[in-house]
Amino acid sequence: MTGKTEFMKIAASEAETSVRSGDGGPFGAAVVKDGKILSLGRNQVVKTGDPTSHAEVMAIRNAVSVFTEEKQPIDFSDADIYSTCEPCPMCLSAICHAGIKQVYCGCTREDARKAGFDDSFIYEIFSGTAEKKQIEINETDNIREFIATEYKINPAQLDSGIEALLIKADRDQRGKVIKAEIAGTGKNGFEDTGDPTSFAAINAIRNLASANRYFDLSAYEMVVIYKPGPLSFSAMHWAKLTKIFCGKTTEPHNGVDPEAVLHTINGTPDSSLLSCEHLGREICLPAFRLWEEKMDRIGY
C-alpha cells in the first residue's frame, strides 16, 4: 500500500506539471480511496480561464468522472484528499460538499501568500474581519420580477432550469441600467452529474470564463435565484465579481449544512466537517520555487 508521503509526492508532481505546462499556479491534489489514487487534479486556471479550476476542485471533478465511467456510486465518504497547500475557502467548501473528511496539506497559506497567492481576503470575509468587501450583495424577495424591472430582461429565461445569470449591464451615473444583455447562464447540475461543485452560480462562472478564456469577470453582474452558500460565494470572489443580486432563500446544499461549512472555513473548534493534517511541506515547496523562477523570467 502506498504511504501518505508517496501520495503527497504524486500531488506535488501535479503541482510542478501545472507550472511547467502553463496550466496554472503551483498547486496539485490527489483523491485517495481504499489506499489507491482515485484521481488527480492540478490548478488549470490559466489554461481554461475558469477561476474555479483549483487543484482540489479539479481532483474532485475528476473523481466524479472516474466513478461515472466505472458505473460506481459517487461516494467520497471513505476518501482522503492530499493537497500541496492549505486549501482556500472555495476548495475547503468543495471538499466538505464532497463528503471528504480527511485533508493532508503540504505548504501553508503563508507559503502561498509569499508566492503571490493570497486568499486571506476571502477568509476575512467569512470571519467578519474584512475592512473592505469586494462584493456588494443585494437580496430581493422576487428575483424574477427584479430581473424584469432592473434589466428589462424577460424572466421567462429562468424557467428552463437556469438559476444563475451573468449580465453585462451599462449603467448611468445614477446607477440606472441603460442597456443589459445576458452573457452567461448556469444550472444546478448536482442531480444530473453527481458533481458536488456543480452549483448554478459556479456553472455560470465556469461557462462564461471558459468562453472568454479569462478568469476576471469583474465587468459582469450576477443574478442568482438563491442566496449563495460558502462554495458559490468563494467562487464569486475568485471570479472578481463585485455586484450580485440574489433571492433570500439559501441555495440547495445537497445535504451539507452551509453553517457547518462556514465553521470549517473559520476553523471553529469541534464544529469542522473535516480534519486537516500537515504533511510533506518540503516535498511541495519546489513547485512554488518553480513558479517564482517563472515569474522572475517574465518580469512579473
Measuring CA to CA, how many Å separate 127 from each of 103, 111, 251, 263, 275? Answer: 21, 21, 20, 9, 19
56 as an active site residue: the answer is yes
CB 22 within 8 A of CB 52: no
Three-point CA angle 269, 272, 273, nearest 5°: 160
CB atoms within 10 A of CB 238: 23
Instruction: Pick the catalytic residue from 6, 14, 16, 56.
Output: 56
Separation of alpha carbons 32 and 192, rounded Å: 24
Q: Measuring CA to CA, which residue among 191, 223, 202 is closest to residue 94?
A: 202
How is residue 101 written as a grid cell?
A: 473528511
- Element of type H or E holding 41: strand 36-42
Q: Report the number of secondary-structure helices (H) and strands (E) in the chain.
A: 12, 10
CB 183 within 8 A of CB 157: no
Q: Where in the sequence numbering do the catalytic residues fall?
A: 56
